[in-house]
A and B are shown apart, each in its own frame.
Chain A
Amino acid sequence: MTLTGVAQRSHPRVPVDVEVTAAAPRTGPQPSVVVTLKGLTAGYVRSSFSLQLPALRIVRGERVALVGPSGSGKTTLLRVVNGRVSIEQGELELFGCPVTAATLRGRSLRRRIGFIFQTFQLVGRATVFENILWGRLSWRSTLPSLFSSFSREDRLQTEEVIREVGLEAQALQRVSDLSGGQQQRVGIARALVQEPDLILADEPVSNLDPETANEIMRLLERACNSRHVTLMMSLHQPDLARRHAGRIITLEGGRLVDDQPNPEALVPRTGDTLHR
């Protein structure tokens, strides 16, 4: 099993349909539909759970919250879109093109999808700067990057994102020395520096206290809005979903039970500069 297998081990249903379909090129007009799911069934080996979604479309710039109790399929849906859980039936289209797990292995497509993890998943002994810079790996050819040879552009973008997430003072600190909120800022910055068109955030604030959670959500919202990046996030706290998501999808037992726009999040709030 290769390194890919590490992540797949918990979800070892490796797809066999190797259909290499290029995703829409980044240049030129961007398709308005970012994610399309048709008749989707996905699940895990050794688990009776299966996610079943007849149809779902997410358009460019949307901030979508997936809510529902534990085991409802929120994380599974994000992992399906990220190619970590293979599809048993149905279709997945990203940026207007059908994709398979094989397509999703391609770097040009992977870099367009940023992922923010509940447990941050950073290298604790590396600095904030390094952790964020490594978000640029997909933009660099393998050999030079192994010797930490990154371009000036990579470094400038990293610095810019560090400023954006408010970690200038901590840039050269070890990530393990940071608080949970600061670590999640690093996680967000690592996703942003990829220059993604879609950000998937799996319970991005569930490990944080309410005040920090709100700060992080505002940061994420601002960052996505200013870039017109689509955001799909799973959230446990319905109030956070109401405050920060323009659309709320409720899942239960692997089924979609509600999908509603959320006018509450469209109203500008004092102190927030960017809202839909």
Chain B
Amino acid sequence: MKSSLAQRLKAHHRQRRVQTAVFLVLFAVLFLLALPGAELDFSKFADSLPRMADFLGRMAPPDMSVMTTVLTSTLETLQIAFVGTFLSVVLSFPLALMAATNLAPAWLSQPTRWLLGAIRAVPLILLALFFVSTVGLGPFPGVLAITVHSVGMLGKFYAEAFENADPGVLEALDSAGATLLQRLRFGIFTQVAPDLVRDTLFRLELNFRESLILGLVGAGGIGFYIQLYIRAFQYERVATLTITLLVIVIIVELTSTRLRQMLR
């Protein structure tokens, strides 16, 4: 019996080593296959260093005269991110209930998962272009793009949180005569609320950063000024924008991290 266990352990370890080796080889092959497409050229990079330094040099000193414009458009970006996140939460919640395999039948959960996957696969910039083309310029298409883009991720995360809820609590509440909605509210939501809030804050943080690019296609926010100043070679103004964005991103991240830490 003892030798049998030793043999099985040996075989198990050998299998693990083989699996690791196969994985590493596969990864290396993929990297080598990808290299030509990426046109990796370190000499080109070295040649560009003086130009990079020149670019950065032209950004100094930052032009503070555009501060009001920068702050207003940053606020608009924050508003787009916030409203978009809020709307995506509202839409994600029912979709997640339909996607959770422990709450919905397979005929409903599986297509809902496919739908969420399909939404995730569409890049934000494409959504922004679509909504700008259909509803016009301004923050509104930006909000719509952020909303749809976030639903794919939040719906999936919420559904996973629901699936991780302890089914024993549901059984207990069911035994106590709670209705379906009561079981959802007290059995599921109470258990997973910290996860939902964490996911939402994370998404809000992402949305703020991602919504910077919305302005590039006319969907409102600070992105519009980024491309405007770069095209006009106004690098001092770009510096003001960059510094402001850096500060705001750090504040948003710190707040979000602190709030997530507070939840347990």
Show the binding face of A for B, using Cβ within 8 Å: 1-7, 9, 82, 84, 107-108, 110-111, 113-115, 117, 119, 121-126, 130, 134-135, 137-138, 142, 145-146, 187, 190-191, 194
Task: Specify which of B170, B177, B182 is in contact with A6 (CB 8 Å cutoff).
Answer: B170
Provide the residues of chain B in CB contact with A119, threshold 8 Å: 168
| Cβ distance B22 to chain A, nearest Cβ, rounded Å | 35
Task: Specify which of A7, A113, A115 is in contact with B170 (CB 8 Å cutoff).
Answer: A7
Q: A122-B172, A145-B182 are in contact. List 8 more A-B contacts (CB 8 A).
A: A110-B174, A111-B177, A115-B172, A121-B166, A123-B186, A138-B176, A146-B185, A190-B176
The 10 tightest CB contacts between A and B, nearest first, are A138-B177, A110-B177, A121-B168, A121-B172, A115-B175, A137-B178, A7-B171, A107-B177, A111-B177, A1-B105
Docked-complex contact A137 and B177, CB < 8 angstroms: yes
CB of B183 closer than 8 Å to a CB of A? yes
Docked-complex contact A2 and B191, CB < 8 angstroms: no
Provide the residues of chain B in CB contact with A190, threshold 8 Å: 172, 176
Docked-complex contact A194 and B177, CB < 8 angstroms: yes
**B177, B180, B264 — which one has the most chain A CB atoms within 10 A of its CB?**
B177
Docked-complex contact B176 and A6, CB < 8 angstroms: no
Provide the residues of chain A in CB contact with B177, threshold 8 Å: 107-108, 110-111, 137-138, 194
| Cβ distance B176 to chain A, nearest Cβ, rounded Å | 5
Provide the residues of chain A in CB contact with B182, threshold 8 Å: 137, 142, 145-146
A237 to B187, CA, bound (A): 31
**B104, B174, B190, B264 — which one has the most chain A CB atoms within 10 A of its CB?**
B174
Dominant SS among interface residues on chain B: helix
Provide the residues of chain A in CB contact with B184, threshold 8 Å: 3
Q: A113-B175, A117-B172, A137-B176 are in contact. Are A125 and B104 (CB under 8 A)?
A: no
Q: A1-B104, A122-B169 are in contact. Are A110 and B175 (CB under 8 A)?
A: yes
CB of B206 closer than 8 Å to a CB of A? no
Q: A111-B177, A146-B181 are in contact. Are A3 and B194 (CB under 8 A)?
A: no
A125 to B193, CA, bound (A): 10
CB of B249 closer than 8 Å to a CB of A? no
| Cβ distance A124 to chain B, nearest Cβ, rounded Å | 8
Residues 157-175 of chain B, each 1 if its beta carbon lies under 8 Å from chain A, else 0: 0000000001111111111
Docked-complex contact A2 and B180, CB < 8 angstroms: yes
A103 to B170, CA, bound (A): 19
A216 to B133, CA, bound (A): 68
Docked-complex contact A137 and B168, CB < 8 angstroms: no
A114 to B173, CA, bound (A): 10
B5-23 with Cβ < 8 A to chain A: none
A82 to B102, CA, bound (A): 21
A111 to B211, CA, bound (A): 51
Provide the residues of chain A in CB contact with B166, threshold 8 Å: 121
Provide the residues of chain A in CB contact with B103, threshold 8 Å: 1-3, 6
A111 to B264, CA, bound (A): 32
A121 to B174, CA, bound (A): 12
Docked-complex contact B264 and A125, CB < 8 angstroms: yes
Q: A6-B103, A119-B168, A146-B185 are in contact. Are A126 and B175 (CB under 8 A)?
A: no
Find the A residue at minimum CB distance from B175. Answer: A115
A11 to B186, CA, bound (A): 23
Please list 17 pairs of residues, one from A and one from B, whose beta carbons are closer than 8 Å in the complex, sorted by A's number.
A3-B183, A4-B174, A6-B171, A7-B167, A7-B170, A107-B179, A111-B177, A115-B175, A119-B168, A121-B171, A122-B169, A123-B186, A123-B187, A123-B191, A137-B177, A142-B181, A194-B176
| Cβ distance A137 to chain B, nearest Cβ, rounded Å | 4
A142 to B176, CA, bound (A): 14
Task: Specify which of A2, A124, A134 is in contact with B176 (CB 8 Å cutoff).
Answer: A134
| Cβ distance A180 to chain B, nearest Cβ, rounded Å | 15
**B104, B170, B186, B193 — which one has the most chain A CB atoms within 10 A of its CB?**
B186
